[in-house]
Amino acid sequence: MSMFRTTAKTNKVNVRNGSCKWPDPIYETTRLLQDAKTKTYDEKLYKLLVATGSSRSQYNFLLPKLVSENLSSKGN
């Protein structure tokens, strides 16, 4: 059994000047659990698949890492 499952899909949109803009973006609420002693977050891996015609690209990112980097860049 795969631990990854599709949680949402968007409609197809056209690429204009190298950019895409979706009229119906996806927002997903998630919970990040932080260890009380180490102050680290449990890992939560997300995969983003982008398909253009016959080619597909996959982007993987750890949500807690993005949150930590964003908070540290703001001085929190």
Kindly state whether residue 46 falls inside one of the protein's structural domains.
yes
Kindly state whether residue 51 falls inside one of the protein's structural domains.
yes
pLDDT band at 76 (very low <50, low <70, confident <90, very high): low
pLDDT reading at 17 higher than 80: yes
pTM here?
0.51
Kindly state whether residue 19 falls inside one of the protein's structural domains.
no
Kindly state whether residue 38 falls inside one of the protein's structural domains.
yes
Kindly state whether residue 1 falls inside one of the protein's structural domains.
no
pLDDT reading at 19 higher than 80: yes
Kindly state whether residue 14 falls inside one of the protein's structural domains.
no
Query: Residue 48 CB: number of other CB atoms within 10 A?
Result: 9
Q: What is the pLDDT of residue 29?
A: 81
pLDDT in tens, 42-69: 887 778 787 777 888 888 888 777 777 7
pLDDT reading at 2 higher than 60: no
Domain that holds residue 41: 31-76
How many domains is the chain partitioned into structurally?
A: 1
Rounded to an integer, what distance in angstroms lies between the CA atom of residue 39 and that of residue 22?
36
Kindly state whether residue 12 falls inside one of the protein's structural domains.
no
